[in-house]
Chains A and B, each alone.
Chain A
């Protein structure tokens, strides 16, 4: 039984009075303990898709089922990590993690205890009272991760969580996320990540869902069967083959798109 089922989701936006089809009949499902990456060119609606799953946006037609129940509004069982961290700058790291817990109905002391625990887990012990302003990008994203996990959700959504970080920091945080995913003690086991970085997706996911742009459609799915931990396989042919396979699907789509454009004219 899948945890999440996306069924025929379609979404249009109105911009300058003309309608733009962003998501066209998107369907897929995600099983328990699965790590799924959605990959696509920018503007393919993958972030919108993630927001529909989170209950932040409504689909025009189609639906998203969570354990068989349609999602209509945000729930604590599905939380999100944002590309630009989404921290409240007027709250300390601790308060940023603590507040959602309080909003969820936990007592003040209990919230504080849980928040501290999770900050420690993401390696921010000693930075509880720092403001986002004083933290580096990587540290900010660690706070974002702690905040999302502290609610003990079943599903964690990540919207390009590493794309505003430098490569070295991203590498460390990818490992942190994978460690969290594999940690049996934590209730959060189902991860969905949106990315435009194919190497990253193949490195992290069990399955990569490839989307086309404008309108966003699912144009392929690649199962990643490289054994974990994958650090040791980063130079293996299997890894490169899978990366090539995903890139191929993306490029094929890009070619059909550019066919409709006029050929470049050679300057005289």
Chain B
């Protein structure tokens, strides 16, 4: 019934837009909607199939675990938008089908990893006694997978798939409006992302951009609430609670109890659990690390090989480093510092906002009642799609394009990062065990004392995981947000100086693959060393803060 209502609203919106907006391309809105939605659904199905099979494989097979996990982890930690131009260059050779394929590849890279890690975490946290019981009753092979593993991980798969669905929409503009070597390529079947991008970049029409953004957001949020939430409730209700409602859960001792509560977390689901971050950061053996590095090298090698059609000779490399925008490499440390500064500012703002809102939401039920639905909607907004709209609006407001882009960049980062922080903080505050709360009340902790001695220390580990996740997504977004493409050959594309925009120039403007790979390597190094030196240490430090429940 609700589905019909939602479809009806969509139809009315389509009709209104088509009737009252007089750009000829808008007439194709129904087709575009259909093609984008079906693209995302197809990719989602592929991602789920891939993620579930490889996730189970990596969780149950030792060799698969040693080889697959670090490799996928590496792929995940390199910002997707960074290596996209390379993939595109390769696939474009196949003609229109190649363009469609590359759109699906980008969607896939934004969806598959979280499903893989969700499945991995869920399989690993199936209680040992269940596995032993299954073994003692003679369940092996496919039967074991079918009757034990699959039912146990279903909730995790569903919540990971929901995340993937949101992530797919997040990238809708980047995927359907591809810039490559100075030209713009859109998929032959069109799409909502390319339409929105065109409205913002080419027509520079703020009104239509906003209308389209609202339209897209409605589709995402409505069907999110309708299908996914219901699906998740159903799965949680229908499974055998004490054992099988394990969600995207943590490793080892954080395990089941906590994950279960996280899944039953009020109205919202539990995306991208602690687990992923923990899993990634906790324990890699030295061998795993060596293998990861070796794999990374061979992956880069392979990509280079396919890109250039030959082994990267010294000449090619030298060529890459002498062609534009190589002259900007001199300023590389400054550019890195600038990008880091933007991320730090945005992180600071998100941390503060999430802390204040999270603690407020935890302490006052009324504020929570307002914040949670807001969170639900906000999470559904395809943030990258907001980029052109935001820029257009700000540019009209301040009049200086560069300043407008700088502000847009930071606002985008904040919008992107704050959800992860907020989610982690709120879920942590909600999970403060009854006993700890009672201790606080019984022994007279009030007001600020309560917050500093009980609430804040309890949520510190979640703040750390939230930070890891939000920095991860931040690195991804900044590649997009520092660079404003232009389709008009008269006006050069606009950018603010930074590592992200340099990468974009190398990739989109000049198609300089050598430099692109080099910059990606630099970025991956920065990301990984931050993980190693900052986040991993923080997590380890907070490990003992874990409250037994």
Contact = CB atoms under 8 A, between A and B. Distances in A.
Contact of A74 (B433, B442, B454, B457): B442
B545 A79 contact: no
Contacts of A76: 444
A74 B441 contact: yes
Contacts of A87: 439
Interface in B242-294: none
B488 interface: no
A86 B439 contact: yes
A51 B442 CA distance: 10
Contacts of B234: none
B444 A86 contact: no
B435 interface: yes
B544 A131 contact: yes
Nearest to A97: B443
Interface string B447-486: 0010001100110100000000000000000000000000
Contacts of B144: none
Contacts of A82: 435, 438-439
A229 to B, nearest CB: 31
A243 interface: no
B546 interface: yes
Point out which of A51, A84, A147 has the most chain B C-beta atoms below 10 A from its C-beta.
A84
B436 interface: yes
B314 interface: no
B308 interface: no
Contact of B457 (A88, A100, A103, A133): A88
A80 B441 CA distance: 11
B462 to A, nearest CB: 13
B400 to A, nearest CB: 47
Point out which of B433, B444, B453, B454 has the most chain A C-beta atoms below 10 A from its C-beta.
B444
Nearest to B544: A133
State which size class the interface on A falls in: 20 to 34
Interface in B46-85: none
A147 B438 contact: no
Contacts of B446: 103
Interface string B534-549: 0000000000111111
B378 to A, nearest CB: 30
Interface residues of B, number: 23
Contact of B442 (A79, A84, A85, A131): A79
A84 B548 contact: yes
Given A84-B549, A89-B547, A100 B444 contact: yes
A87 B439 CA distance: 8
Nearest to A80: B442
Contacts of A89: 544-547
A71 B69 CA distance: 57
B438 A99 contact: no
Contacts of B544: 89-90, 131, 133-134
A132 to B, nearest CB: 8
Contacts of A88: 436, 439, 453-454, 457
B518 interface: no
B445 interface: yes
A89 B436 CA distance: 10
Point out which of A88, A91, A151 has the most chain B C-beta atoms below 10 A from its C-beta.
A88
Nearest to A51: B438
B214 to A, nearest CB: 36
B545 A104 contact: no
Contact of B438 (A56, A90, A133): A56
Interface in A147-200: 147, 151
Point out which of B436, B443, B458, B548 has the most chain A C-beta atoms below 10 A from its C-beta.
B443
Contacts of A86: 435-436, 438-439
Interface in A51-77: 51, 54-56, 74, 76
A87 B458 CA distance: 12
Contacts of A104: 443-444
Given A88-B453, A131-B544, A103 B444 contact: yes
A100 B443 contact: yes
A147 B440 CA distance: 12
Interface in A109-141: 131, 133-134
Interface string B508-549: 000000000000000000000000000000000000111111
Nearest to B547: A89
A134 B543 CA distance: 12
Contacts of B442: 54-56, 74, 79-80
Nearest to A157: B442
A82 to B, nearest CB: 5
Contacts of A85: 435
Nearest to B436: A86
B331 to A, nearest CB: 43
A99 B441 contact: no
A209 to B, nearest CB: 22
A91 B548 CA distance: 14
A80 B433 CA distance: 16
A180 B264 CA distance: 43
Contacts of B454: 88
A84 B439 contact: no
A55 B457 CA distance: 25
Point out which of A86, A87, A99 has the most chain B C-beta atoms below 10 A from its C-beta.
A86
Nearest to A140: B548
Given A56-B438, A84-B435, A99-B453, A90 B545 contact: yes
A79 B438 CA distance: 11
Nearest to B450: A103
Contacts of B443: 74, 79, 99-100, 103-104, 147, 151
Contacts of A100: 443-444
A13 to B, nearest CB: 13
A55 B446 CA distance: 15
Given A74-B443, A86-B435, 13 more contacts: A54-B442, A74-B444, A79-B443, A82-B439, A86-B439, A88-B454, A89-B545, A89-B547, A91-B453, A99-B445, A103-B443, A133-B544, A147-B443
18 contacts: A55-B442, A56-B442, A74-B441, A80-B438, A82-B435, A82-B438, A84-B548, A86-B435, A86-B439, A88-B454, A89-B546, A90-B457, A90-B460, A91-B453, A99-B443, A131-B544, A134-B544, A147-B443
Per CB-CB distance, the 6 closest pairs between chain A and chain B, nearest first, are A100-B443, A90-B457, A133-B544, A103-B444, A86-B439, A86-B435
